[in-house]
């Protein structure tokens, strides 16, 4: 790899890690806040709860409204961390695998351009499958839908191992989940929040299902984040992950363990 590719790799990886820390940290903070809100005195039925927090020498009072009554002059959005994390990760995938390290095993006969198309297709396909699951009866239960989703991601990894190197197949598990997480933000959470704003400004009746759908996607993102980070870190531990004697067993166990850890963080941290 040339010097400019090394510098590009370093800058993209640095950006990816920092943006990812900001995105996942905010996701867990807001999900923690959801269960930490305390009931108010009931004077305003639109107030779902309030929360006092302290950080950096300051004290902060956060109030949650069930439905916005008025639009504030300044509204802070949390969306670009997700986009920057995904863009930098996508560019890393292109620099490291599509144009750099072998995407396939050295003995593979498939042309690289075909493997690149399969790589890209796996990301698009992951989004399509995820959204299909949670629009069917399977997705009515987060537990059932989550099990089906993680099982299909594992099956996709097993299939990709017949096309890519084991290292690249493992990495694509994280890339697929990261792509779904980003589209959850930009295709559901943010659009629903903007719909809520328009409904409020127009004085129309509230539609709580919009908030519920956005909240659900945020919850799913927390459950995917820990397995995603494992998939990314696995590249540094080849002997016991993708390079070991049972890479698919390790992947299944640690994906389940990651989702379980995310549940503990969400519900008990």
The residue extents of the domains of the chain are 3-268
| Cβ proximity of 219 and 31 under 8 Å | yes
Q: For residue 40, is it left (φ>0), alpha (ψ between -120 and 50) or beta?
A: beta
CB-facing half-sphere around the CA of 150: CA atoms within 13 A: 25
Along the 269 residues of the chain, how does pLDDT read in single tens digits? 568 888 898 999 999 999 999 999 998 988 888 888 888 776 778 888 889 899 888 999 888 887 777 677 777 788 899 999 999 999 999 998 888 777 888 767 788 889 999 999 999 999 999 999 999 998 889 999 999 999 999 999 999 999 999 999 999 999 999 999 999 999 999 999 999 888 888 888 888 899 899 999 999 999 999 999 999 898 889 999 999 999 999 999 999 999 999 999 888 76
What pLDDT score does 197 carry? 86
Burial 28-45, CB ≥16 within 10 A → b, else e: beebeeeeeeeeeeeeee
What pLDDT score does 1 carry? 55
- C-alpha distances (whole Å) from 87 to each of 27, 137, 212, 250, 252 are 18, 32, 27, 28, 27
Taking the C-alpha atoms of residue 117 and residue 175, their distance in angstroms, rounded to an integer, is 14
State both tokens at 264: 């503990």
């Amino acid at each position: 790899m040339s010097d400019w590719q090394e510098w590009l790799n370093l800058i993209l990886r640095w950006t990816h890690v920092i943006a990812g820390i900001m995105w996942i940290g905010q996701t867990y903070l807001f999900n923690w806040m959801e269960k930490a809100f305390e009931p108010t005195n009931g004077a305003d039925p639109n107030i779902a709860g309030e929360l006092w927090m302290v950080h950096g020498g300051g004290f902060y009072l956060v109030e949650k409204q069930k439905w916005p009554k008025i639009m504030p002059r300044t509204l802070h959005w949390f969306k670009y961390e997700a986009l920057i994390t995904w863009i930098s990760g996508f560019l890393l995938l292109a620099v490291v695998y599509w144009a750099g390290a072998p995407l396939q095993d050295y003995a593979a006969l498939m042309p690289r351009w075909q493997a690149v198309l399969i790589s890209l297709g796996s990301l698009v396909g992951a989004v399509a499958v995820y959204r299909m699951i949670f629009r069917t009866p399977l997705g009515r239960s987060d537990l059932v839908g989550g099990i089906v989703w993680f099982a299909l991601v594992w099956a996709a990894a097993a299939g990709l191992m017949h096309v890519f190197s084991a290292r690249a197949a493992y990495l694509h598990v994280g890339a697929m989940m990261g792509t779904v997480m980003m589209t959850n933000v930009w295709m559901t959470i943010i659009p629903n929040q903007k719909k809520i704003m328009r409904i409020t400004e127009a004085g129309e009746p509230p539609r709580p299902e919009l908030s519920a759908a956005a909240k659900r996607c945020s919850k799913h993102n927390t459950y995917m984040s820990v397995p995603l980070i494992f998939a990314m870190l696995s590249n540094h531990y080849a002997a016991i992950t993708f390079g070991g004697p049972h890479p698919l067993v390790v992947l299944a166990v640690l994906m389940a363990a990651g989702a379980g850890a995310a549940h503990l963080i969400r519900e008990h941290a």
